[in-house]
């Protein structure tokens, strides 16, 4: 797997920002989806260091998981971008029925 370019990272940040339009604000368990998206964006912008001592204290396990998903993509360890995980919430266009 190949690490993304800076241009691809910038496009991913934009895609994550857009995904908040269709990702539900909260999961059925009450977890804050939009916060997780924001944390992925912050990581990709270089604002979060997952190797810091505060990382485990500051973020819940779900938040850490979201951040580490963004890190793994940025480092080329996984192919699927963080925004693609949120795409499952995007409404599918309705098919129009043709009248006879």
pLDDT at residue number 90: 81
Q: How confident is the model at residue 88 (pLDDT cuts 50, 70, 90)?
A: confident
Sign of CA dihedral 48, 53, 58, 59: positive
The answer to the question of residue 68 being in a domain is yes
* CB of 34 closer than 8 Å to CB of 20: yes
pLDDT at residue number 93: 67
The answer to the question of residue 15 being in a domain is yes
pLDDT average, residue stretch 45-61:
95
pTM of the model: 0.88
The answer to the question of residue 44 being in a domain is yes
Radius of gyration of the chain (CA): 16
User: What CA–CA distance (Å, rounded) separates 33 from 1?
Assistant: 27
Helix axes 33-44, 61-74, angle to 10 degrees: 40
The whole domain housing 14 covers: 6-76
- The neighbouring-strand residues paired with 56 are none
The answer to the question of residue 10 being in a domain is yes
Q: How many domains does the chain have?
A: 1
Q: Is the pLDDT of residue 42 over 80?
A: yes
Measured between alpha carbons, how far is residue 13 from residues 19, 23, 60, 88, 100 in Å? 10, 15, 22, 17, 45
The answer to the question of residue 52 being in a domain is yes
């Amino acid at each position: 797997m190949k690490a993304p370019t800076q241009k691809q990272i910038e496009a991913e940040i934009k895609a994550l920002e857009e995904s908040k339009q269709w990702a539900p604000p909260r999961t059925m368990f009450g977890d804050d989806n939009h916060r997780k998206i924001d944390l992925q964006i912050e990581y990709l912008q270089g604002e979060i260091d997952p190797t810091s001592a505060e990382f485990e204290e500051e973020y819940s396990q779900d938040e850490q998981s979201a951040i580490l998903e963004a890190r793994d993509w940025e480092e080329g360890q996984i192919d699927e971008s963080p925004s693609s995980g949120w795409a499952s919430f995007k409404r599918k266009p309705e098919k129009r029925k043709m009248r006879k």
